[in-house]
Amino acid sequence: MPPEMTRTIFRYLAWGLILGLFIVTDTSLALRPHTLISPNIDRFAALFVVGAVFSLAYPQHVLPILLGLLVVIIGFELIQKLLSGRHGYVKDMFVKGAGCCAGVFAATALRRALSAMSGRADQSKS
Tell me: the pLDDT tens digits for 66-121? 999 999 999 999 998 888 777 888 999 999 999 999 999 999 999 999 888 877 66
pTM for the full model?
0.86
How far apart (Å, rounded) are the C-alpha atoms in residues 32 and 24? 5
Q: Stretch 10-28: mean pLDDT, rounded?
A: 91
